[in-house]
Structure formats: structure tokens, C-alpha cells
A and B are shown apart, each in its own frame.
Chain A
Amino acid sequence: MCIMEVCNIKYSYDGRKPVLKKVSAKFELGKIYTILGPSGCGKTTLLSLLGALDSPTDGQILFRGEDIEKTGLAAHRKNNVAFIFQSYNLIDYMTPAENVALTSKLPPLPILERLGLTKEEARRNVLKLSGGQQQRVAIARALASDADVILADEPTGNLDEDTAAEITDILKECAHQMNKCVVIVTHSNDLAKQADVVLRLKKGELQTKVR
């Protein structure tokens, strides 16, 4: 089922050379998407537009058929999408449980425990956790929001090989078992190989490859 659609979007910084030229794509629930491309090609920009962190210069982004500009960008961020960043982006004066509680009214401990954190670790300051643990907290926060779309920007970029594999498995589980639409921006070919759909950005244009 198509949950989100990008329709002929263009994006340029201050009206100069366009970063994205008439990009269109469809995203479905239960699938994992990776966006590949060289540095500076506009991968993170596309992810930001999907997550309503910015607005396209032209074109539309539809969520369940509705233009997110019309339903509200903050509402889209709050209800429809959840972010996972390369640098985890956890609030440093909060515990993992409190970080997860930012987006959830549900008790955060069961979610954290499901992702492999102990109760003691869930109540520790986030800065006292390892990189892998911090990324699990970030994923827990994304899951706790109950958003249909998870947008991940280089989620394994700061992690060692084994931990990266574990995080990849969790993201696959999110897509295939929890029926989320997971969109990942990455440079990692290993991660790209796990995707159901690979999107490649080249000179501002998108090429789609379905596995």
C-alpha cells in the first residue's frame, strides 16, 4: 500500500543550481527503501523533505493522498514520520527512557527492553551508553511514536560492523514485521543489499531499482 508519494519535487538552495530535479517516487508500508548516491547529491535533502523538515521548491509530497504542506509540516513530523540520525540525536540531559517518552505516551521500558537495553541502562544518562546502545534508543524513540514511516539518515554510519548488522536487522524487523515504511539514506552497500527497493540519486534525478 502506498503510504507516501513524492510528486515532481524540485529543490534548490536560494534559487541557485537545483539539488533535486523533478523527483518522483512512491513509498509503501512493509518495505525498506535505501537512497544511495555520491556525497552532495541530495540524499539527506530528499529525506528532510519526506520528513517535513524543509519544503520543496516545487512539487508535492503526499501522505495517504494528502499534501503535507496543507495538513501541516509539524503535524506530519509528529504523527506520520519518525527520524533516526547518524549521530543518534538524543537529548543529553535525559535518560533513554525519557528520550523515548518524548514521542510516546506508552511506558518506554518495554520498547527499550525489546531493543536489548536493560532496565538499569534505560535509566542511565544517554551519554553513558555505547554508540550501538544510543542508536537503539533512537530507534526505540522512532518506534514509540507509532509513525508509519521511519526516516533514517546513515543509521549505521558511526557503528562497528557487528553493531551495524544488528541495527540493520532491527530496521528490517520494523519494516517486515511491524509493517513500517523504512527509508534509509546510506553509503553502505551492505545495508543497501538488505533493502526491498533501492533508490539512486544521480545529478538530482532518481533511479529506482526493485529487488
Chain B
Amino acid sequence: MNFIKRAGLYCFRQRFKTLILFLVLTIISTFILTGIAIRDASVGATADVQTAIGGKLLLELDTEGHMSSGQNSWGTVQSYNGDLITNEIVDAISKVDGVVDYNSEDKASFYGAAIDFKYLPASFNLSYTSYGEASSYTATLSSEKCTEFQNGKYQLVSGRHMTPKDKNVVLISKELADYNNLSVGDKINMYCMDSDSKVKFEIVGIYDGTEGTSGNALTVDEIPANCGYVDYAMMFETFGKDYLNGYQQLTIYVEDPVSIQNVYDKVKALPELKGKTLKLSIDTDDYDVVATPLDSLQSLVNTLIIIISFVSTAILTLLLTIWIRGRKKEIGILLSTGKSKRNIIAQFFTETVMVAMVAFASSALLGKLIAGKASDFLLSRVTSGTANLNIQISAGYLLPVYMIGIVLIAVSVAVASWTVIRLKPRDILSKMS
């Protein structure tokens, strides 16, 4: 009778031990399987985040060494005397391969007093223009790319976002629109105190998200609902080239985050940027916010898989040692019939592997249940919902589980058997009797 048949008989006849071994191996393999699935899901989520967030380059003014002091009616003021980001630069950048979009966002760069509409009132009405108090507006090329729309604080509820081609358009809050009974397509007029001119705007979009954020505002521009978005084309025309001849910063969106360095090199090499006092950098802040917890999760899971493997080996070795020590009589009989020690260890290994084959397959079913729960838990605790962690147990994951499992079993059986097999056959038989 060969060792495979003996192993089969043992597993079949010693059903209680087989059941215990099955449960232990199922639990171990489920842990390892779920760990591998979480790690892979986290790697997949990181790749998804990279694609979803994309890459960004940031072009800014290099203020270091390019600031000068001057005097005006308010006292000493510091002003930038270097190069600005001109439309020529923006045009050149927009034509670089891999650049999909760009935006500049300058908060509170336009102050407009309402001529034919009213702002939501604040505690004080300062009325420092003939049209009353002015509120601040963010000048932008693409309102969709502005911080509040990107982070989900504001949502467009009517109309459209403004694009770099727009001129004399405005996005206002739903609160302000409702207060003045305004809708998309309506025209409004504002008085710009800085340029001492009146500007006519078309409302192209209305957004919400400002509700309940007014607080106890002292001035109208402290009420978020009064602060909208205006286009840069209007800004350049209203203020003129002497006063405004470029952008403070430009965010450049790259199609493939993997090739961001390549795009960076191309932009950096543009002749329009040569010798300019501008700084170009790769902006990974958005990606880091989402990817850092995923990276930490991967490291944690890798460590857990190693720890589980070691602990599992220890538990399995302990269990098998107890059982094999209880099988001294059988070992003695087999040795006395001429079976080699290697043949006997092969029997113990085969027994455990036979049970493991079924246990590992069962762990795929159990793992599917656990993966669903783990996915929900990790989505809320680790990624805070910012990344989709799709933990799935596929047949492909069973291969590493079988490989790791069989190595663990081989180590456990070898260590457990050694406690008895190392003895002389006669010693085993005398201990047995």
C-alpha cells in the first residue's frame, strides 16, 4: 500500500481530525485570500485614482528676488516686478502634447457693486460706491476646475460652466439668483470701483452649495452667496494691459499621470518660458490625499499576510506535532514494515494537502462573503469614499493561496514530524509500548 492510499484512508477514517484540520486550513486560507484580494484591490484603486484625478502641473510666479517696495496712499506696499503668465504662454502650453486642460483661478480679484440687482444683506451697509457695497468675484478661465467645484462644495444646478472662450459672463449662487429672481441668460450690470467702469454680464450658470454658510457676516462680500465667478477676458478688458497683463498662476491638466514628467519636461522647454521668472512644478496634492491611505493599506495588508503566514505555520505545526506524537505507534509499525522515514513524512504531507485542497477551495466562497464586508468597511474607514475599493475574490487568487498554503504545510509537516521521525525505530517502538 503506497503512502497516498494510506493518507486517503487516514483522512476518511479519522473524520473528526480531518474536520478540525479542514476548519483550521479554511480559516488560514480565507485570511490569506482576503489579504491578497484587499492588496490587489488597493493597487487597482490607486491606478483608478491616478487615472481619475489625472496629473497636474502648476505654473506660478517666482516671487523670490522679484519683489519691490513702493509707496502709495496706504503706505509701503510690496509688488511683484517679474514676469506674468501671459496669454501667449497659456496658448503655447495648451498646444503641448499630453495637456488636456488648464485653468487659472484668482479669488477676490474683481469687486463689483450691484447696479440692477441686490446682494444678500450683511450686518453693515457701508455703501462706499454710488451703487452700494461691492462683493468679490473669483476670476477664472474654467469655473468647473475651480476649487469649490472640484471638491464638491458647489454644484452647478442650472446653465453651464464658463470656459476660456467666454467674455463678460458670470456664475452666481442659487441664493443670490432666487433673491433677485434671476435665471440663466439674464443680464446683470455691476460697477467696478477699481476701474471706475460699469460692466455688463450674462448669467451662464447658477450653482448651489452656499446655503447656510453666511453666518453673521458684517459686509456683503463675507456672504459666500454674494461671491460669484467672472471670466478673465472681461478682467483683461476692464483693467487694461497696464494694470493686468497676465495670470498669477496656471494649473495645467495632463491626460496621463504616468507621463506627467514627460509633459513637465516639454512645458519647461517651451521658448515662451525661457528666462521668465516663473516656477513650474508637478502638483500631486490631490493624488496624495487619496493615494496615501491606499499605499498605507497595501503596506499594512502585506505585513498582515506575512504575520498570518507565520502565525498559521506555528498553529499548524503545533496541531500537527500533537497529532503526530499521538501516532508514534503507527510510525513504529510502518518503520518495522520497512517504510522509509521519507515515505512516512510524505504520507503526513499528503494527508494535510488533501484536506487543504478542499479547504482552500472553500475559502474562496467564504472569502467572497468577507470581501464584501471588508470592502464596505475599508471604503468608509480608509479611503473615506474617495476611491472605489472593489475587493473581489477571483479564481486567479487561489493559485497564490495554494502555493503559499502548500509551502506552509510542507514546513509544518517537516517540523512536526521531526519530533518523532528523528528517533531510531526501536526507540519509537519502545516509547510506543
Contacts and interface: CB of A to CB of B under 8 A. Distances in A.
Interface of A: 48, 51-54, 74-79, 82-83, 85-87, 89-94, 98, 101-103, 141, 145
Interface in B234-292: none
Q: A-B pairs with the 7 shortest C-beta distances?
A: A78-B338, A93-B13, A77-B338, A53-B426, A54-B426, A53-B425, A48-B426
Given A54-B424, A77-B335, A102-B1, A89 B329 contact: yes
Interface in B1-22: 1, 6, 9-10, 13-14
Contact of B333 (A48, A76, A78, A91): A91
A54 B429 CA distance: 11
A88 to B, nearest CB: 10
Nearest to A105: B1
Contacts of A51: 336
B424 A77 contact: no
Interface of B is mostly: helix
Interface residues of B, number: 24
Contacts of B151: none
Query: In the complex, which of the residues B13, B338, B429 has the most CB atoms of chain A within 10 Å of its own CB atom?
Result: B338
A89 B9 contact: no
Nearest to B17: A93
B425 A93 contact: no
B130 interface: no
Given A53-B425, A54-B424, A89 B333 contact: yes
Nearest to B428: A53
Given A89-B333, A93-B9, A79 B429 contact: no
B330 interface: yes
Given A54-B425, A93-B13, A74 B340 contact: yes
B118 to A, nearest CB: 93
B336 A94 contact: no
A96 B57 CA distance: 81
Nearest to A76: B338
Interface string B391-433: 0000000000000000000000000000000001110010011
A87 B336 CA distance: 14
Contacts of A145: 337-338
B339 interface: yes
A53 B336 CA distance: 7
A103 B339 CA distance: 9
A78 B337 contact: yes
